[in-house]
Amino acid sequence: MTREFIDFVNTHIQDDTSRLLLSAARYPSIDIPAAVQQIEGLRMAQEKWPRLLQYEEFLYPPRLNREQSSSETTAEHKVYVADELCGDMSFISVADLTGGMGVDSIAFAQREKRVHPLKTHILTHVDYVEQDAKLCSLMEHNRKVMGLDNLTVHCSDSLEWLAARNTRFDIIFIDPARRSASGKKVVVFEECAPNILQHMPMLLSHCRWLIIKASPMIDLDMAQKQLGEVAEVHIVSVRGECKEVLFVCGPHEGETVMHCIVKGTGEFYNIDFTRSQEAMAEPRYCSAVGRYLYEPDAALMKGGPFNLICHWMGVEKLAHNTHLYTSEQYYAPFYGRVFCVLGELKLSRKEITTVIPGGKAHVVTRNYPVEAATLQRQLGLKEGGELFVVATTVGNKKTAFLCCLPSQ
């Protein structure tokens, strides 16, 4: 990381990186593959880790490690979870057993500056553990660049490292690798590496709280049964997309608390419930679709408080298995998307051509036998425009509605 390297990266930040690699001979004093890696990392950071951009000498890892890393937003939610778990403790110890790029470790290490900027007595120490020597080397460099004296890098197999210690951490965080040996994405714990189900007693014996990151596609109820002592489940969505599922394991009383975390631009909602509360809530069904149609946020769709939504938000459900809601009066804020209903539609090309003469609309399907992309193709629609075709089931009837977004 020389001045010449930094200047080269900044000069070529907008270049086509494929062409840059092919022209490496023109720049004998620059490690072009490393420069390309840095350029692509900086581009990704603009969206995924904007705060890292203030550190000019921060080095980014290869693409796969960047893609697998937490975003700045989801990393900070883990700090929020740790703070809620540890309460008023002035010092907490954290072990990140799957260090990777280090974004989660960095967030934990910056806890006192980010979460408690006025409390100088709040301290955190983070042990970053990673078996990839190159990633450890990058993390050691970045730790120094960021001035993180409270972060220690350990190049080791994390479970062996943990087993060899008598330390009991306040928080252990682990994000098992969700790719098979062939590179295929996997979901269930048994196919991840490490298979934490085989190591739960050892992990829990070394911490007060164990936070496990899982695939957004995981079966929540099955995972809770497998893990055992699950105190909380956090389903985190960012701008309408489910990004992470966190299982918080440790001693607790009563039921597991489900947290649906909805994060948007400047927004943060924590909607919590238990399975028994959902089971006891009586859903309210509509007799007809009103002026407004509501689609719950991805975190709520994953968490499943479908009956409770009727009571929380004063809306009515379209059908037992249709997780869309309606009302005659506008309800705000709703944790998800809100549509204005313009009218009911017959899903034929002839009708679509009449009501959508431009041929552009977004298609949404919920509890409907045809997927959105297929239906869009069948109707001859192109993606775009300001209109929405929402195909769904109301009661026992398959139908569709032409909708738009509410005016701001």
CA–CA gap between residue 104 and residue 81 (Å, rounded): 12
* Percentage of the residues of the chain whose pLDDT score is greater than 70: 97
119 compared with 259, residue with greater pLDDT: 259
pLDDT tens digit string along 104-113? 999 999 986 5
C-beta separation of 339 from 390 below 8 A = yes
Residues contacting residue 22 through CB under 8 Å, at least 6 positions apart: none
Region of residue 239 (phi > 0: left; psi between -120 and 50: alpha; otherwise: beta): left
Distances, alpha carbon 212 to alpha carbons 130, 188, 207, 294, in Å: 16, 13, 13, 32
pLDDT band at 408 (very low <50, low <70, confident <90, very high): low
CA 130 to chain centre: 22
- Can you tell me whether residue 191 is helix, strand or coil? helix
C-beta separation of 128 from 139 below 8 A = yes
Neighbours of 47 (CB within 10 A): 9
pLDDT band at 114 (very low <50, low <70, confident <90, very high): low
- What is the residue-averaged pLDDT of the chain? 92
CA–CA gap between residue 305 and residue 295 (Å, rounded): 13
Sign of CA dihedral 223, 224, 230, 232: positive
Mean pLDDT of 185-207: 93
pLDDT tens digit string along 320-371? 999 999 999 998 788 999 999 999 999 999 999 999 988 999 999 999 999 9
What pLDDT does 282 receive? 95
Q: What is the 3-state secondary structure (H, E, C) of 326-344?
A: EECCCCCCCCEEEEEEEEE
- Shortest CA distance to 151 belongs to which of 142, 159, 160? 142
Answer whether the bond into residue 117 is a cis peptide, omega within 30°. no
Instruction: Report strand pairing: 268-273 vs 257-263.
Output: antiparallel
Mean pLDDT of 159-170: 95
Neighbours of 341 (CB within 10 A): 17
Distances, alpha carbon 361 to alpha carbons 103, 357, 364, 398, in Å: 38, 10, 10, 20
The phi, psi pair for 382, rounded to 5°, reads -105, 150
pLDDT tens digit string along 248-257? 999 888 999 9
pLDDT tens digit string along 285-323? 999 999 999 999 999 999 999 999 999 989 999 999 999
CA 114 to chain centre: 20
